[in-house]
Structure 1
Amino acid sequence: MNKSIKTGPIMAALLVAGFVGLFSETALNIALGDLINIFNTDATTIQWLATGYFLTLGILVPVTGILMQKFTTRQMFMTSLILSIVGTFLAALAPIFSVLLIARVIQAAGLAIILPLTQNVIFTIYPPQKRGMAMGVMGLVTLAGPVFGPTLAGMILDMLSWHWIFWFTTPFLLFSLIFGFVHIPNVNETRKVSIDMLSVVLSTIGFGGIVYSVSVGGDYGWTSQLVIGTIIVGMIALILFAIRQTKLEQPMLNLQAFRYPVFILGLLMNMITFLNMLSMLVILPMYLQMALLVSAFMTGLIMLPGSLLNCILAPTIGRLFDRYGPRAVITPGTILVAVGYGLYALYGTETALWIMVVTHLIMMLGVGMVLASVQTNTLNALPMQYYPDGIAITQTSQQVSGAVGIAVMVSLFATKQSSYLSGFANDLPGATAAGTSFVFIISFCLAVVNIALSLFIRRPVADLAKEHSVQLQA
């Protein structure tokens, strides 16, 4: 690590911007019911405020790999913050639905840049033996943003209008912009690269098509021609995209990262973790409100201790990773996650609220141990020149798996709920508990798969650490 680089201010500027973007990803969800009436629209249309956000991330994140090689760190950072601020101001002032939707897309474009950029900066300014702690802090932000979104938004909506969800974040974005302008240096090496437009088109159709198809699958039916056709087109586009990357002298996304088994293993674990986590953040509040009959604000309070615990322990978990290696942290974390889902699957309509708090504490501690540690070890497996591509691949897989997880799990939840109601017509709490239990059984099975995968994880070979050291000295 270059001692002339002040890592604290750099991380502060990047992580505040990342937190705001991830907060915005979920904060508006709690207001969607009110916005249906405000904009005189329906649930399918209003859902695009969430779907459009995921869709934009799925389309733009893959492109950031080559953009981080073409433009300087400061250029990428300033572009991200300007997009985030413009999108936030436009959303806060939006008079009609279409303006709010455009604002959400602009916000997501800012987040699509800042997340990969933050990881790339961490892996550039920190040596391998210190990345665990830095990525632990980033993991804190990755978890805290989406989790605190509904909680804080619920508190804001209790006192003010939905516009203040956006006004609330504006001072933080302005702080990040000013702080970053003063402190963030150019830590990446730029080179003359051309952006292959056909690759951009194929990537957009591929990742965008898959995210879109799973996002609308619950509305149109998973067997509808639209959903099946979009998935097929998306998969074909991704295959053509991958083939084209192997033919280009300067690929938009260098797939050489897949030559490293530790990277592939970590990528699979990361996708399972995100799929489970984001779907849990949607299903669990529905269970609390519809089965246990607690308010939206109380739901946020129940989920708050687990989120706070994760925030407090994130740096410590990172230091444990640096000292004892990945398996000592990741395997116990996957076990805690599986225990959490197993307990959730057992609960019905009479579960005490303190039990929900304790279970969520177990769950979030496990997720905190797994998420940042897996991401760190996955990228540590790559040579330094592949960091931008590896980061773009992991970030894209996160967003796509998260969108798939939410869409599929909510659809399974609704199907099980409807099946239950056909036999017990007026028992909505019981139907909700049945749907939740069914979904969490599936999540438990996926969590067990992660336990098995974690047994094969190892610290990347020492040669990569030496390579990183030599390149920094050069």
Structure 2
Amino acid sequence: MENNQARIKVQRPWLAMMSMMIGAFVGMLSETSLNIALPQLMKSFQLNSGTIQWLVTGYMLVIGVILPFSSLLTKWFSTRQIVIIGLLDFIFGVIIAATAPNFIILLIGRMIQGLGTGLILPLMFTVAMLIFPPSKMGTAMGVCALVIMLAPAIGPTITGIILGKLTWNWIFWFFMPFLVVALICAIIGLPNTGKITRPKIDILSLLESVVGFASLVMGVSFASNMGWTAPTVLLMLAIAVIILILYVYRQLHLEQPIINLRVFKKLAFAQGAICVMLDFAIILSAMYLLPQYLQRGLLLPVALTGIVMLPGGIINALVSAFAGRLYDSVGAKIPAVLGFTIATIGLIMLIFSNPTSSIIYVIVTHIIIMIGCPLAMSPAQTHALNALKGAESADGSTILNTMQQIIGAVATALATSFLSWGQNTYQGTDKAAQFTNGVHYGLYFTLILAVIGLVVAFTLKSTRHVENKN
């Protein structure tokens, strides 16, 4: 059947995907692996939580800035060129971070890694949409989602094990073998799936994108230290709002936009995209707060913290793989509604934790959250991308991945602000209880995201592939 043919025929599609999946996995692992090391890094560099969080938000900032150019880059360079350059860049950033003598060099290394992730991540979804037929799309997107969801889940465990025996530098050296394997796979098994047309580049759009997204993330991040009423914060946020409005207006009116925002006119894409962004924000904000709570609220050693988070990571991987197949049979609405509902329950339970809570209780709450988030993620993403056709698929993939990183950076920064607010409002001298109160404030924010996601999930259509009729 014509409807069941891949847009581009590739002899070994999974081999073609391997370099991008490994690269994306390491990219997402790098994005979340430092969460558990933040308390140790704060002591090593004598920094507060508002400054040290830049190792997380700065990384996501670079990814968010480079991602909007993904579609344009695929028209100027081959898939092989982009992936190989991205992997080499990542390796360079890893070496800088692993040998960093101070915080500034470490941050530079992290941001260089972010550039590599920003090049590779969107290509994984774009190529998958091209080389797999519609009947296999749910499974393919489920595997891609598994790559994205598994890394944040097991990152803290791996980091905890490393920090239990070695210094934080070895977190980065751990990435190197995976990157070398990905580079070899790219060289021997990755064909070019794009069409190089070298369209005219709109410089103003590029500048608006960089300044707008950077100002947004920087403004929210600075608020963690300076407060939301600080003149610098207000100025950065004002610049972000104005520039991004101009950017959106320009993209909607250009004949050949940098990123095709017109895809939001398709309701199925808009609904799915909102669910994906909210789900990603829930994962990153919760997984930013949880390892710190385990160390500074429950006073667990860093190695045990990683072990405590392992069961949730395993469950995350299993559900991610299952959720992709679930879309192929029941569509997006049922798993998305169930996913956000389960995540909401887990977050409420975690909010009721305290400095004397049992480790088993925290493990259970983490598992519940790790059932809910991946259950909603893959079906919602497939729902969104299946609403698009042809070249729109690349634009849709770019938009989803860009907004995930921007929203993730903003959510992490907001979680840090609420964490500080909760600590400041605590009346007492117990440091563990004070930090736990801050974590609760951060989780209130995450819970609101989950409730909004649940409301949006109810608006999704129940049947699969219905979007393609548009």
When the two structures are superposed, what TM-score results if normalisation uses the length of structure 1? 0.92
Out of 55-64 and 204-213, give the one that drifted further: 55-64
Q: Residue deviations 1:235-276, cap 9 Å, x none?
A: 111111112223322111111111101111112212221222
Structure 2 residue aligned with 1:472? none
Structure 2 residue aligned with 1:441? 444
The residue type equivalent to 1:196 in the other structure is: D
**Offset of 1:39 from its aligned partner?**
5.5
Instruction: Find the aligned partners of 1:460 and 1:186 in 2 and give their Cα distance.
Output: 33
User: Secondary structure in 2 aligned to 1:249?
Assistant: coil
Distance 1:93 1:148, change over 3 A: same
Residue of structure 2 aligned with 1:309, choices 295, 305, 315: 315
Q: How does 1:36-55 map to 2 (within 5 A)?
A: 46-55=52-61
Q: Residue deviations 1:173-217, cap 9 Å, x none?
A: 010001121111112233231221111100011011101111111
RMSD of the TM alignment (CA)?
A: 2.2
Distance 1:38 1:128, change over 3 A: same
Task: Work out whether 1:138 is the aligned partner of 2:141.
Answer: no
Structure 2 residue aligned with 1:325? 331
Structure 1 residue aligned with 2:3? none
Instruction: Find the aligned partners of 1:42 and 1:359 in 2 and give their Cα distance.
Output: 28
Q: Residue deviations 1:310-350, cap 9 Å, x none?
A: 21232222111111211132111111111111211222233
Instruction: Find the aligned partners of 1:214 and 1:288 in 2 and give their Cα distance.
Output: 25
Out of 365-374 and 148-157, give the one that drifted further: 148-157
Native 8 Å contact 1:337 1:447 kept in 2: yes
Native 8 Å contact 1:64 1:392 kept in 2: yes
Residue of structure 1 aligned with 2:24, choices 11, 18, 23: 18
Distance 1:45 1:345, change over 3 A: closer
Structure 2 residue aligned with 1:93? 99
Residue of structure 1 aligned with 2:416, choices 382, 403, 410: 410
Structure 2 residue aligned with 1:281? 287
Structure 1 residue aligned with 2:453? 450
Unaligned 5+ segments in structure 1 are 468-474
Unaligned 5+ segments in structure 2 are 1-5
Native 8 Å contact 1:85 1:173 kept in 2: yes
User: Secondary structure in 1 aligned to 2:391?
Assistant: helix
Residue of structure 2 aligned with 1:427, choices 420, 425, 430: 430
Instruction: Find the aligned partners of 1:340 and 1:445 in 2 and give their Cα distance.
Output: 13
Structure 1 residue aligned with 2:276? 270
Instruction: Find the aligned partners of 1:331 and 1:40 in 2 and give their Cα distance.
Output: 43
Native 8 Å contact 2:276 2:377 kept in 1: yes
Instruction: Find the aligned partners of 1:142 and 1:77 in 2 and give their Cα distance.
Output: 17
Structure 2 residue aligned with 1:470? none
Distance 1:21 1:121, change over 3 A: same
Task: Work out whether 1:154 is the aligned partner of 2:157.
Answer: no
Distance 1:162 1:416, change over 3 A: closer
Native 8 Å contact 1:123 1:387 kept in 2: yes
**Offset of 1:8 from its aligned partner?**
1.9
Structure 2 residue aligned with 1:261? 267
The residue type equivalent to 1:137 in the other structure is: V
Q: How does 1:101-180 map to 2 (within 5 A)?
A: 101-180=107-186
Task: Work out whether 1:76 is the aligned partner of 2:76.
Answer: no
The residue type equivalent to 1:56 in the other structure is: V
The residue type equivalent to 2:142 in the other structure is: G
Native 8 Å contact 1:66 1:389 kept in 2: no
User: Secondary structure in 1 aligned to 2:255?
Assistant: coil
Structure 2 residue aligned with 1:193? 199
**Offset of 1:32 from its aligned partner?**
4.3
User: Secondary structure in 2 aligned to 1:384?
Assistant: coil
**Offset of 1:119 from its aligned partner?**
0.7
Residue identity (%): 36
Out of 209-218 and 30-39, give the one that drifted further: 30-39
Task: Work out whether 1:238 is the aligned partner of 2:244.
Answer: yes
Native 8 Å contact 1:278 1:402 kept in 2: yes
Q: Residue deviations 1:347-389, cap 9 Å, x none?
A: 2233221121122111101111111221111111112211121
Distance 1:192 1:296, change over 3 A: same
Instruction: Find the aligned partners of 1:47 and 1:342 in 2 and give their Cα distance.
Output: 25
**Offset of 1:443 from its aligned partner?**
2.6
Native 8 Å contact 1:377 1:459 kept in 2: no
Distance 1:466 1:443, change over 3 A: closer
Out of 434-443 and 29-38, give the one that drifted further: 29-38
The residue type equivalent to 2:158 in the other structure is: L
Distance 1:461 1:97, change over 3 A: closer
Q: How does 1:393-408 map to 2 (within 5 A)?
A: 393-408=399-414
**Offset of 1:428 from its aligned partner?**
2.4
Instruction: Find the aligned partners of 2:106 and 2:288 in 1 and give their Cα distance.
Output: 22
User: Secondary structure in 1 aligned to 2:196?
Assistant: coil
Instruction: Find the aligned partners of 1:370 and 1:92 in 2 and give their Cα distance.
Output: 35
Out of 261-270 and 187-196, give the one that drifted further: 187-196
When the two structures are superposed, what TM-score results if normalisation uses the length of structure 2? 0.92
Task: Work out whether 1:296 is the aligned partner of 2:299.
Answer: no
Residue of structure 1 aligned with 2:353, choices 347, 354, 367: 347
Instruction: Find the aligned partners of 2:188 and 2:438 in 1 and give their Cα distance.
Output: 51
